[in-house]
Structure formats: C-alpha cells, structure tokens
Amino acid sequence: MKNNKNYILILSFIFLLLPCSILASEVEEEKTNIPAYITQGNLVITKEPNIDMTGKGCLYQVNGKYDSNYAAPGALHCLDLGDEVKIKNYNNPVESTIDSCKSHFLEVTFITTKSGAVTGYVCADAVKTDVDTSKYAEEFTKAGFPESYFERLTLLKDAHPNWIFTAFQTNLDWNESVQNESIVGMSYIQITDLEKGTKYISLEEGSYDPINQKYIVKEPNNWYAANAQTVAYYLDPRNFLAEKEIFMFENLSYNSNYQTLEVVQNVLKNTDLYPYAETYIEAATYNGNSINPVHLAASSKQEVVLSDGKLSGSANGTNKINDVAYYNVYNLGANSSCANPVACAINFASGYIATESETTSFNRPWTTIELSIKNGASYIAESYINKKQNTLYFKKWNVTSNYAGNYSHQYMTNIQAPMSEGKSTYEAYSKIDGLLDSAIEFLIPVYQNMPDTPSLLPAIEDEETKDKIDEEAKEEEENRVSSITNIIESSPYSYNNDYISKIKLGTSAQALIANIKGNNQDISVTVTRSVNNQTIELKDGTALGTGDVVTVSNGQESKAFRIVIYGDVNGDGKVSAVDYVQVKNCIMASSTLTGAYKLAADVNQDGTISAVDYVNIKNYIMNGNSVIE
C-alpha cells in the first residue's frame, strides 16, 4: 500500500514539471472553419488585417477604382448584419493596432455567386459565434418558425426591436418545391463568366446540350437555367435573413408611415425615372390600390433602368407601333417565352393594339410614363399583391396556393431579383433617419420537411453527372447512326460514309426501296433525283443512276446517301461511250470527276482511276470481260 502511494506521488510530481505549452496543446482543440454571424451592417472585409476603412464604406473608390484594400475589389466590399461566415482559424486571431477595432481581427470566408469564396479580415467586435436565442424563442415559436430560423432572426430582432416577423406556412414539401422550381424555364441566373459559373447551371434537357457539350443561353445577356442546388439556395428563406436581404420578405401593402416620397426619390436617384417619384407615391393608392411605392420604384429600376441610369427600350419611347410610342416601366408581359422581351413589353403597354387580342384593360394603351406607372401598379396589385403574392419573394416563388396554383404566375424568372430589389429597398430606407426603426412586417415562408441547416450554393461543378450525361448522349448518338448503318448493311448494298453502292445497273427505284426496307415496314425510304434544278421523287420502275439520292429514316433519325453505280460515270443510269470518254479524260487530266461520279469511275474499286477502269468500261460496252454488273 505504501509503495503505491509513493508511485502516485512521483507521477504527480512529474506531471507538475511538464511545460505549460505541452499541457495547453493537449487541452486546447484547434478550431477551424467555425461558423459565425456578422453583427454589424456594412462591415468592410479587407485583404489584410489592421486596415482602417473608417469613413470609406462599401462603395469607396479612388479615381474610379475600388480600393485595393478590399478583399474582392469590384465584387464584394462589405458584409451585412446577419451574414454567415466561416472563421478560418479561431485560435489564431491577429492583434488589433487600430482604434476602430477594440478586440482583434479574424480571417473569414464568405460565399457569393459572383466571386465564389471570398477570404479576408474582419474585426471580431462584429463577429458572433454563439447566438443566444432563448430571449425570443417563445415569440418565434408562437409565430410559427422552426428553430433553424432562430439565430438570424435573433440578430435582426436585437438590431431592430420593432420589426415584426410573421411565418407564412406554405404547407408545401421542401423537396417537391425545389423540384418544381428547378424545371428548365422556371428559374434563370445570369452568368457573365461561364468558366466560373457552370456549377450553377442545370444539366437538364433544354439547358445543356451534351452532343456539343454546351450550356444553352435561355435569354439574351447570358441568362441560363439554374440547377436544383442553386434554386434551393435562393428558395431557402433562411439564407436571406440578413439586414438588407430580408426586405425581399417585406409586406408590400402600402404603409404611409415610412413609405414616403423621400424614400422613393432615394431609390430613383441618378436615373431618368427620378422626375416621376411623386407619380409612384400616387400609384400606391391609385384606383383603390394598396401597394408599396418603394417596391414599385425598385421594380422599375430593376426592370428598365440601365447601368448608366438611362431607360431601356421598354420605357424610353423609342419603340413604336404605327408611329405611336408606348411605355412599360415594369416590363409587364415580357416573360421568359418572349423571343424579344422589349417587343412583348411594348405590345402589352399598347393593349396589343396591332393584334386581334386588343384590350383596354388597366387603361391601356399607355402612351406616357405616368400612365404606365399608375396603371401598371394597378395591374401588379390586382395580379400579385391582392392575390397573396405580396412580397418580392412570393412574386418570384409562387408558393402561396393562390388562385393560379403553386409554381405558376411568377413575375420573374431571375432567381436573384428578390434579393437585389430587397437590397435596393433597404438602401432607400436607410437614408432616412429613424425609418428602419419603424414597425415593418416581414412575411417569411416556412416549408415542410426543410433540411436542418440552410441550403448551400454548389461549390464545384457536378462533373460526374455531366460526364455521365455526355457519355450517354454519345452512346445514343452512335446507336442512332449505327441503326441506319445496320439497315443498309442488312440489304444487298454497301454503305461508305455518305454513299451507297453495289447497286446493279438497271436497278429501279421501286426495287431499291423494297430491298432496303425488307420486312421492316417502320423504315421510311425515299429516292430523289435532281432534274433541271428541281428535285423529283422516284417511286416506279425508273432505272437509278449515279448521283441519285436515297434517304433512309428509322423513326428517330434520317440520313441521305448518294447512289454510286460503278461504270455509270455521268449518272444517266447506263454504261456507254460517254462514260468511257469521261474516264479517259480524267486519266489524262483534261477533266475532273468528284463525289459519287468519281467513285463510279473506279470500276474495280482499287481506290484509283486508271487504265484498268477504262478497259473495264470499254469491254462492258463491247460485251467483253468486265467487272461491271
């Protein structure tokens, strides 16, 4: 017993002598890629730590260029309150040496569709890894939100206590909704750098061409069909519970307490629509409407304002019908099925005056911008806002079970439009002191069977699926070609590239068709001949000649072949002195032969036109020995 006590004392003494650094390394676990939230709006993310960007902000430029201190100049300059980041190494912060950061700097990564993974430094003063949701848990639960919504809603509630968050129960299955909204033609994303953006594009039929291995542009200016994972990201409300983006869920009914002329003017500042700010305020209640004028202005800016502030062809008066200009500031009628969206918008504004479907509904035609603003607002209110599609989110994603049915009657195909228009609304509100402290209501969707965590954007292209689709398409194409080949090879004839041969002299069109079809009546065979620049079909006992065309179809694909009859060099269906002379001239280089006629001159089929072929034709004419049949 005494020996055991001594042993324990010795071990304890050794343990006490161990260096502190060894103990610390064993106790402290390395923390990498730790999820965290940004708790401050417009937080600049810089390329290096300890760069003081005070007073410069998100859009700061020097001589027209973005500050090189930004983590991604020209693409991402600031993070938003509620944005989720990953802390690369939580155990290795960088000490702050500037007054604007009281604690230290952390290296973080943020994901964006434009720049991919952006890595930079932010002050830890505005980063939170653990959000206490208990103070609002009862309120959020009563409102109908699952726990996966709590953290980001808590950050917003802390910053804006008067904001009202209302859960909209869609009663729709999450996976089913993603599947329906991912159908090609429903959801588009703009990809300006295709090399980096293919991971967001659908590989479904109509979006990707596996034969040519090309993604299909769905609308001008590089709009492509988004794949299911990308759609899931933009459909998932939890990804947009940040201070700016949440305005895609703002209730779009009119609230005069904070939706004021000054806010509308801020939205339209530096655009050709700025002089019409008061008209948007009038449109909010025009003809019994109750619609957010800030939303109307932001929609117009999104739809018809170009990067230089000028108006597009839908609203600048340059597009006319019968010398009359029409205006459509909301691009109404310019849906994804339009080959020319501007023309569709103008036709809509005119009331389809040039068609049999002419209408005067909503006071059309709209021959001024004012008429377009007010009456277009009535159309939006009646068609969307009053039909439960009363948020930017619901205008893009109709999951409201309204009169039109889910996944239809959607205002836009652009999956990023609700986010960008929501940000425009926030920017306009933020310029008015105290406005963001108002009791603003947000209608936030909740789906059944949602994943436990928010959906993520694709990190890489799905090369495995793409390769499989490419290979299947290649095999299918080969099978289609070989099936035509098999049809020819099962006949008495031979097939070589675009030519069909071993056809005896005097064979009729009728006989050739019967020999190729055999017992397979599902095969279609036609024979044609060019006569005086006109194509005629041969069906009867007319003898075939070199150069005639036989077309074979198996129901899936058609292929045309030129007929080659050896010895019939001029294509008249006979072997005569004319053919004899043409072969002689070809040998002596006084004339040339091409295509089927050149092949027909190679009577012995040795690959060259020589005296042997010349002799064979001569012997055939004189009833001597010849290979010609």
Whether residues 219 and 310 share a domain: the answer is no
HEC states along 515-558? HHHCCCCCCEEEEEEEECCEEEEECCCCECCCCCEEEEECCCCE
Domain membership flag for residue 491: yes
- Give the 3-state secondary structure of residue 354: coil
577-587 vs 611-621: helix crossing angle, rounded to 10: 170
Whether residues 551 and 533 share a domain: the answer is yes
Which residues fall within 8 angstroms of residue 127, CB to CB, at 6 or more apart? 36, 37, 38, 39, 85, 87, 106, 108
pLDDT of the residue at 20: 44
Helix (H) or strand (E) holding 82: none
Which of 108, 128, 148 is the last residue in one of the domains? 128
Q: Is the pLDDT of residue 482 over 80?
A: no
Cα gap 121→49, rounded to integer Å: 5
Higher-pLDDT residue of 430 and 277 is 277
Percent of the chain predicted with pLDDT > 70: 91
Whether residues 274 and 385 share a domain: the answer is yes
Which of 389, 407, 429 is the last residue in one of the domains? 389
Least confident of 161-170, 177-186, 333-342: 333-342
Whether residues 378 and 433 share a domain: the answer is no
Whether residues 366 and 416 share a domain: the answer is no
Domain membership flag for residue 417: yes
Could you please report the per-residue DSSP string of 307-343? TTS-B-TTTSS--EETTEE---TT-TT--TT-SSHHH
Whether residues 280 and 358 share a domain: the answer is yes
For range 543-559, the mean pLDDT: 90
Q: For residue 260, give both structure tokens.
A: 């004021």
How do residues 595-618 score in pLDDT, each as one tens digit? Answer: 999 999 999 999 889 889 989 888
Domain membership flag for residue 627: no
Whether residues 273 and 378 share a domain: the answer is yes
How do residues 263-321 score in pLDDT, each as one tens digit? Answer: 999 889 999 999 999 999 999 999 999 999 998 998 899 899 999 999 999 999 999 99
pLDDT tier for residue 199 given thresholds of 50, 70 and 90: very high
Whether residues 267 and 352 share a domain: the answer is yes
Whether residues 338 and 364 share a domain: the answer is yes
Q: How far is CA 583 from CA 500, 505, 565, 580, 606, in A?
A: 21, 18, 14, 5, 15
Whether residues 238 and 89 share a domain: the answer is no
Domain membership flag for residue 137: no
Q: Is the pLDDT of residue 3 over 60?
A: no
Total tally of structural domains belonging to the chain: 5
Task: State the residue range of the domain holding 53.
Answer: 22-128
Which of 411, 431, 461 is the last residue in one of the domains? 461
Other beta carbons less than 10 A from residue 340's beta carbon: 13
Could you please report the per-residue DSSP string of 551-605? EEE-SS-EEEEEE--TT--SSSSS--HHHHHHHHHHHTTSS---HHHHHHH-TT-
Domain membership flag for residue 256: no
Give the CATH number, domain containing residue 520. 3.10.290
Per DSSP, what are the bridge partners of residue 444? 167
Domain membership flag for residue 64: yes
Domain membership flag for residue 530: yes
Q: For residue 439, give both structure tokens.
A: 């009791």
- Give the 3-state secondary structure of residue 412: coil
Cα gap 624→629, rounded to integer Å: 12
Percent of the chain predicted with pLDDT > 90: 62
Whether residues 239 and 266 share a domain: the answer is no
Whether residues 293 and 378 share a domain: the answer is yes
Domain membership flag for residue 475: yes
